[in-house]
Structure 1
Amino acid sequence: MASRYCWFVRHWFGSLLIAVSLLLVLTHGSNAHAQQRTFYLDRLQIGGSPEDGFALWRPRMKQETVFFGQMALGWQHRPLRGATATYSERLANHTPNPVQNQFTTYLTAGLELMQRASFAVSLPVVVYEHGSSPCPRTAGANCQSTDVNSTIPSDTRLDLRFIAYRSANQKFHLGTALSMWVPSGDNISFTTDDQTTGAGQILGEYDFGKFVLSGNTGLHFRPNRGLNMLRVGSEWTWAVGGFIPLRDGAVRLGGEIFGSTGIVDAGKTPVAKDGDTVFTKRNTPVEWMGELRFALDRQKAGWLGFGAGTRLSAGYGAPDVRVLANLGYAFSLRDTEPGSPHRRYTADRDVEPTYSDRDKDGIPDDLDLCPDDPEDGKEPDPNDGCPAPSDRDGDGIPDDVDECPDEPEDFDGLADHDGCPEDDYDADGIPDVEDKCPREPGVASTNPELHGCPQFIRRIEGSTEIQILKRVEFATNSAVLLPQSFPILDEVYALLKANPDVTKVAVQGHTDNRGGRDLNMKLSQDRADSVMRYLVNKGVVASRLTATGYGFDKPIDTNDTAEGRQRNRRVEFHILEQNN
């Protein structure tokens, strides 16, 4: 299936290139009108390599040698506006757009060599463009006119790219790129500089894991050209962007910002009285684009991408809207993965090892955590080179951390990590085997189901609430605890003392709905604070407690009856944090 897919893609690309070649032969000489010599307009230079964005040239390559091909389709709306190439500043807002719309096909083919270097050829073809002459009828002889109604190739670009540096963790990459444009376009249709030009770039990238930041910058050396008041020449180019890899890199979501500005004085003309191009409004195009890219197969050899954006400045070549789509594939020069050798090789058992092994346990000293103590093959790690630690009582807890090294842990679910058996975990004088509440200090009872349990509280297994069986009482409309509440709170204190693994308990105060909201919120908070103070004075560390009043916001019964209101006036205890 994979070979059939590769055959289809190869033949598809071949047929496409043949068709484009015929198109160029038929159309290149179709326009013979004597028009003003123009310049290369499109500011987007698509790299075309398998890892590139649209304007981003990344210092990344496939791990193996691959041949790659890509086709991109792009539409630009108003890439050259009349105000940019006007004959007169006075008429700038009334000058027609020399290039109103432009549809371009970007074709790229290249070769990547073992993550180190690549060579590529790119040919953009303007399949359709239209615009109007920027010269009004009343313009003088100095006004430069254009006619872009033709299908024509642009200059052919040759790229040579190198990876200059790659960090050991593969996160930071640096590279360089050299490009040359060979005239192959039409000098009246904004598709050529009509002369060989060149550029050099520095490429950089850092992979943050969930986000990849990339950028490239360089200089493009080109001849001085222009149209009316617009003058162009050599320039500084740049692009920066990033993306988020999703689904193990099969989907890529990101964005780019790219632009350029002149670096020379492009000369004066009878219309252009100033040839300065450095950071001028006409000579500083800036664009942004969003990008979405999908891998077409598991090996991520094929890709399909979409992009769209707008201009951020009024510079020449930056369209009001740009839309792109690309399709590419990287062909490995090796049809199959390398197989294992047919011949079997067996190590000679009689050969003496050349590594050092002082304790003769078969583990080399440079890998042996205990090079002078032979490994005994026992748990917890039979391969670390160390004998298992001593465990006299055989309970699986090493003697150096066993608080009772000669008494095996009973693993009854009560403090099983200390190495000691627990006969009476809560220290209430009732053995755990008889205690129905082994974690809560309690009292003896003739009822076997309550033997060893506290009288006023219960800790329900699986619940965070410490259940209060008898109400905590306060003086009327006050936060003063009544004496009959002390035994209840003493049992809460005893439970917390016996269970140090309970590290945070919430004390919650609640009221009925009699009285105003603010009054009840304050009363419930004061009562929760009063209970917390009592427990702290008994010996509970304050950091293990929090106190919060809820007023009448959380009733557990109706407030329409005396019995319901009495149930709603309550204090609750909830376990918030507990160490296992």
Structure 2
Amino acid sequence: MKRSARLTLGLALGLAASGPASAQDARFDVQAFRPVGAPRDLVIVGQSRPMGDYDPSRPLELDKSIAVSGGAFFNLALDPLTLVAAGTHSKAVSVVGNRLQLDVMASVGLFGWAELGVDMPLVLAQAGDNLEAIGTEGFIKSFTPGDLRLNGKVAVPYLRRSKPEDAGFGSALTFGMGLPTGLQEAFAGDGAVTGNLGLILDYRFESGALLALNSGLWLRPDYEFAGVQWGSSATFGLGAELPLIRGWGINAVGMLSGSTPLKKLPEDPRQIPAELLVGLRWYNTALGLHVTVGGGGGCGCSLTAPTMRLFTSILWAPGPETAAIKRYIDPPEPPPPPPPPVDPDGDSVIGEGDRCPGSAGPVENGGCPDTDQDSDGVVDRLDRCVAHPAGPRGREGCPLARIDGNKIVILDQVHFATDQDVILPESFPILEEVAEELLKHLEIQRVLVEAHTDARATEAYNYDLSRRRAASVMNFLLDSGIAVERLCSAGFGRSRPLAANDSESNMALNRRVEFTIMPPTEGSLLPPCPPDPAAEQALPAIKPTKGKR
């Protein structure tokens, strides 16, 4: 009788048969659900970071560097292997109509670099039809062990998350071996040693979300069943984990996994058994328990893809593995609030910014009370002349005239009419205060009134102009009541500039009047007046120049 394989709609497996199957058809393990047992793996899709933690900067701590976990996976598959009549969608034979399987698993992680695991599958219950149609009278055995699986994972250097909770990319190589402990006649084993090799690439986000991609090879004997070539396969998997209620440790998980045989019969469609599963995971970091429940189904386009699958798992991972999970599952403790600011003097300047915490003061003075050393009503922090009262006509705490060393310093320039020795009225208050200082300080025997000009015009002209201006200021002081023997005057022209005569502002500085206190002499003699430089100059034709002078 002719036999062929075809896809079915609405059933998990699409095999069509027009007659009884050959007695030579080989039996194999129909279980496509092969869980991975570490707590942070995504059920049937692995993640890259092996369990355990190791920091080379600290002494070796085995209780943190070596981590263990153990637990169990239950899964119920409906119609993992069913035959339908050729040309119809009618079920002909349920070879394996349903299967309830338990996977007992244990894993050990070494220093965050390697991980070893063991998985013992046990078919707790399965049922199907009489298999006379495929050459064997009777039903498949209900309870049977499966093939024992040994698994390993090694992190790839330079693409490994240094700590379990770290965000970033990770990668690992996987390997494994299956031992023929299962009953092949019950479709629970391959009857030979099998193996697998794989690569994991993943990325963990700061939120704890994970995206993982798996690929690899499943090495197993070649079989032919109901006209379909079956054997070694290329495997693939895509998984994701997303925190839902982070404080409670509740995450969503999703997985798409499958395989495709490396060989097929020439006229047969390629088998691609694939399953899409989703679920919820609960991390109980207090007890170190991790529970996952979910379900999904196959694509209905190949052998071993069930119509529906339900699964649940419970894993226990004490010690460092749970501690690492806790760091990205539990929300971080908020930092304690800073202590309330202390302001004992109630001036709104608090903490270290208050230089006088026992006395109230303005913010501008660092919380210290304002002082007024010269009692002129201008506080010292704003007073440019702290030791000299400003007087009624002063500005910014400075008087219009004050004694400073051997000078009577004036607050502003003495202004003259342009190219003349006529004092402008705006300078009268300054000269009046100079006179007041001399009247208050009779110990000053003699003052030299100096006049200076900028560099414009000739040297002789500037000497003459400065001499006349100095004399005008001296006459103003004489009219203010200063004795003639206490005053001298001299013009220095442009010979003593304060700044380069290269700009209008600099030339304005050079046009000035200064009051120099002559050093006292012994006895009753007055200090002599210095010779007038202008009198010593030959004064040829004197021509004024344009511009303010």
Q: What TM-score comes out, normalization by structure 1 length?
A: 0.47
Answer with 1 or 2: which has the greater Rg: 2
- Structure with more relative contact order (C-alpha pairs < 8 Å, separation 6 or more): 2
